[in-house]
A and B are shown apart, each in its own frame.
Chain A
């Protein structure tokens, strides 16, 4: 236990922020370049997790456990979001036989 907690002592907060920014941008790029609705959904999950990790890092940095409680609530929210979103994707697939988002281009107008 002591060695694990000693492990974290020497890392600047900036490196956590940069790591989470990189993963968040990968999520953004994934939303922009993919057309499969499920992969887009997974990119959204990636963004949520990057924010979770940053909240936990700030919580440790400030010595305040509130950030970790927020992460818990974000996880509950993500579970609800995934349930509804996947149900919508299944319904779209049943109606159009495809989960390509370009099929839904009438939503644009």
Chain B
């Protein structure tokens, strides 16, 4: 039980570091740590499939893509221009108001029940695969089309325009 609170503290701590780090590379590395704590959360819920997918897809693919892009566009020569303190203060106030609203709405519900994993096989690959390919086969295929179109779009956007193309 105390494991959850420790990992939750680490998640919040690293995610605060993500948005406050001055160097964008450090920011990405903190984001990797944040996602690692999320993976531990999934393991604690015995959602093994999600833990592995989070580990491989998010930490292995998406964040490496971020890191490559950041190194591709060489940011080190100019430091990031800082926003004025007023804008920062307003941003923090806005986000804090959002948080207070949600927590206050939660208080109206009173104390909730505890999260109990009734079926230990719930998050295993076998169970999820059966559900995914029985009930959600059509969205699965549509998401493959989405990934294909995203890949085509990314290649189209990122390639340099040639004279003959225009």
Are A and B genuine complex partners?
Answer: yes
Bound CA span A17–B96, Å: 16
Other-chain contact of A75, B57, B80, B150 (Cβ < 8 Å): B57
Interface residues on B, range: 35 or more
Would you call B95 and A84 a contact (CB within 8 A)? no
Would you call A8 and B46 a contact (CB within 8 A)? yes
A76: chain B residues at CB < 8 Å are: 143, 146-147
User: 1/0 contact trace for B55-74 toward A, CB 8 Å?
Assistant: 00110011001100110110
User: 1/0 contact trace for A51-72 toward B, CB 8 Å?
Assistant: 0110011011101011011011
Bound CA span A99–B143, Å: 30
Would you call A7 and B3 a contact (CB within 8 A)? yes
A-B CB pair tally, cutoff 8 Å = 254
Bound CA span A99–B74, Å: 10
A27: chain B residues at CB < 8 Å are: 15, 19
Would you call B45 and A19 a contact (CB within 8 A)? no
Other-chain contact of B119, A63, A80, A89 (Cβ < 8 Å): A63
Would you call B95 and A8 a contact (CB within 8 A)? no
Q: Which residue of B lies closest to A90 (CB)?
A: B158
Whether A82 contacts B66 in the complex (CB less than 8 A), given A32-B91, A69-B132, comes out as yes
B33 near A: Cβ within 8 Å?
no
Q: Which residue of A lies closest to B90 (CB)?
A: A32
Q: What secondary structure prevails in chain B residues at the interface with A?
A: helix
* 28 CB-based A-B contacts, threshold 8 Å: A9-B1, A9-B117, A13-B112, A13-B113, A13-B115, A17-B106, A21-B99, A21-B103, A25-B99, A25-B102, A27-B19, A29-B92, A30-B18, A38-B70, A42-B31, A43-B19, A46-B31, A60-B47, A66-B131, A69-B136, A72-B53, A75-B58, A76-B143, A78-B58, A83-B150, A83-B154, A90-B73, A90-B158
Interface residues, chain A, CB within 8 Å of chain B?
1, 4-5, 7-19, 21-30, 32-36, 38-39, 41-43, 45-46, 49, 52-53, 56-57, 59-61, 63, 65-66, 68-69, 71-73, 75-84, 86-91, 93-94, 98-100, 102
Extra A-B contacts (15), CB below 8 Å, given A4-B43, A32-B91: A8-B46, A13-B115, A21-B106, A24-B98, A27-B19, A30-B19, A53-B38, A56-B42, A56-B123, A69-B128, A72-B128, A77-B143, A83-B151, A93-B73, A94-B160
